[in-house]
Structure 1
Amino acid sequence: MTRIAAVQLSPTIANVRANRDMAAAAIAGALADGADVVVLPELTTSGYVFDSVEELRSVALTADDPLFHEWATMAATRPGSVIVAGFAESGADGALYNSAAVVTAAGVLGVYRKVHLWDQEKRFFTAGSDAPLLVETAHGRLGVMICFDLEFPEWTRIAGLAGTEILAVPTNWPHVDRPDGERAPEVQIAMAAARVNRMAIVCSDRAGAERGVAWNEGTSIIDADGWVVDSVGPGDGIAWADIDASLSRDKRLAELSDAFVDRRPDLYSKFTRSPS
């Protein structure tokens, strides 16, 4: 079993030092409490609602920033542990990306750049162009995408077909009004994606409000059957769950039904061509 900690935090816009300290405290606490995989929100190190590209650039980090070495040192305190967190990335090409890093005691295993940018993000970030990240870890095949990426069925299917067993999704979900008793729509989408792809999904959302934007505070851990195992209410906190990654390898829904084997891609392409 893999012990998952999905952390919900309240970063401060453009305050890298405070956000680093907050993230470090959360990571250290989760590891001390037995977490094997720790997932933090989207743009944990920078905040989200930027005033200008210049403000974003002032807090963007390169993928070899010393911060990630600090996290690797923390991961070494619990052998095999994995940390996934969102950050504003300054790319070698000079572009700015909404990214997530996967860190173990060995260092940064990989960086994913958000492909589907949401609304005002398009004013500040360059969209990524690589498939969902997939890394081999001591706790199975860990996939990574960010927030709005999760709302595209094609993208989660790509992750599932690639062999993802646990999908880590750092998020910043803007608040959406909903009927009493209903989960945030993004959580419902994650539940459906987990079920149709037979893979666990870990969504770490942020809390509080930032420059007039409130958040859904929808941090949730979802198993391969599509059920929410644990979640976080309003405010900062951690959702916990023990996930058996091996269950994501079995795509059978019934004796003669398999979520992947029963696909008909020979037909799908005919019906999904763009109109001429």
Structure 2
Amino acid sequence: MPQANAKQRVACYQFAPKIADPSFNLEQSLKAMSEAAERQAKLLVLPELALSGNALRDREEAFVCSMSRDGTRLNALAEQARALDLIVIVGFCERLEAGHVANTSVMIQPNGQRTFYRKAHLWNRETLIFTPGDCAPPVVQTSLGRVAMMLSYDLQFPEWVRLAALSGAQLLCAPVNWPASPRPALQRPVEVTRVQANAAVNHLFILACDRCGHERGMDWVAGSTLVGADGYLLAGGISLDRPQLLVADIKLRTASDKRIPPYNDILGDRRPQLYGKLCQA
């Protein structure tokens, strides 16, 4: 476990996956891991659906691009994680039974442990392709600290992020694919602002790794974002449509102290008995 005052270097690697090109996507992912390790990072987040591409036409094409949890590509990432002593979190299209697929992320630790999460909140045409997950975001004890996972549109639901915080997460890692949309001049992408707000109101670190490039008529925000537990940007947060490695040095232990002056506590001051309507259908 890290020393109490130690900083841990974490990273996001933004790139442009290609649909139906598993060799390219794996090559880019392994390259990203090597570059992150060279920069002394101990944890790396890659984009949502990094191993398959995002703009899939239908469930049939997604199934062709899918893989099992013990497939060769994930095994290759696991071997690289062991060799580099690096935690990697990556999105992929998971093969289910009877032709079904899920939008899934996996956290692979150097000791070989794998933790999976299926996206619970599906965006736009994803509802026609993927089977949604029905489990809360996992919070995993790692060599760095307690790390949670979710995917992209999940971040739009503050209850989901709060659930991870209540489960003890110090760092939330989110592979994302943020579709580009018009915004006023000089304004930061709202997706980035949402990540900052989630970090601040829960006092936890968040890494959101976006993708770049053009894919079947779609462009992307390309705004990978590393945010401190105070809600302020540590790296990224702007649209930059090219591959890039973003790193930050953080003290995960600081996210366990939820006091914001000495007399207030972000989680302890909650009054759940007043919030009943939040859980009503």
**TM band (smaller chain):** over 0.9
Give the Cα separation in 2 of the matches to 1:146 and 1:273. Answer: 21
Which is richer in strand? 1
Question: Could you tell me which residue of structure 1 aligns to residue 4 of structure 2?
Answer: none
> What CA deviation, in whole Å up to 9, does each residue of 1:12-66 have, x standing for no partner?
1121111111111111111122110000000000001111221111110111112
Which of 190, 197, 200 is 1:192 aligned to?
197
Distance in 1 (alpha carbons) for counterparts of 2:50 and 2:130: 16
Task: Give ranges in structure 2 of 5+ residues lacking alignment.
Answer: 1-6
Match of residue 61, structure 1, among 43, 67, 70: 67
Task: Check conservation: 2:63, 2:100, Cα contact below 8 A.
Answer: no
2-structure distance, mates of 1:117, 1:236: 26
The amino acid of 1:9's aligned partner reads: F
Structure-2 residue corresponding to 1:29: 35
How many residue pairs are counted as aligned between the two chains?
273
> What amino acid maps onto 2:111 in structure 1?
A
**Residue 182 of structure 1, CA deviation:** 1.8
Task: Map 1:137-152 onto structure 2 (within 5 A).
Answer: 137-152=142-157
Structure 2 counterpart of 1:242: 249
1:88 is matched with 93
SS of structure 2 residue aligned to 1:195 = helix
Q: Secondary structure at the match of 1:14?
A: coil
Deviation at 1:94, TM superposition (A): 5.0
Task: Give 1:107-256 correspondences, 5 Å limit.
Answer: 107-231=112-236, 233-256=240-263
Task: Tell me which residue corresponds to 1:98.
Answer: 103
Q: Of 2, 22, 26, which residue of structure 1 is paired with 2:8? A: 2
Name 2:81's counterpart in structure 1.
75
Q: SS where residue 107 of structure 1 aligns?
A: coil
Question: Which residue is equivalent to 2:17?
Answer: 11
Q: Distance in 2 between matches of 1:76 and 1:273?
A: 42
Deviation, structure 1 residue 70: 1.5
Moved over 3 A (4+): 271-275
Question: What is the root-mean-square deviation of aligned Cα atoms in Å?
Answer: 1.4
For the residues of structure 2 that align with 1:212 and 1:187, how far apart are their CA atoms?
Answer: 23
Q: Is the 8 A contact 2:34 2:84 kept in 1?
A: no
- For residues 49 and 22 of structure 1, the distance between their equivalents in structure 2, rounded to whole angstroms, comes to 18
**Equivalent position of 2:266 in the other structure:** 259
SS at match of 1:86: strand
The answer on whether the counterparts of 1:69 and 1:107 sit within 8 Å (CA) in structure 2 is no
Once the two structures are superposed, residues 223-257 of structure 1 have per-residue CA deviations (whole angstroms, 9 ceiling, x without a partner) of 00001110162211011100110011000010111
User: How far does the alpha carbon of each residue in 1:122-153 deviate from its partner, in whole angstroms, 9 at most, with x for none?
Assistant: 11000000000211100000100000000000
In 2: Cα distance, 1:152 partner to 1:133 partner: 16
Q: Which runs of 5+ in 1 are unaligned?
A: none
Question: Corresponding residue for 2:3?
Answer: none
Q: Which amino acid aligns with 2:230?
A: D
Tell me if the contact between 1:42 and 1:171 (Cα under 8 Å) persists in the aligned partners.
yes
Quick one: distance in 2 between partners of 1:196 and 1:92? 39
Letter in 2 for 1:242: D
Partners in 2 of 1:261 and 1:224 — Cα distance? Answer: 17
Question: 1:108 and 1:58 mapped to 2: Cα distance?
Answer: 26
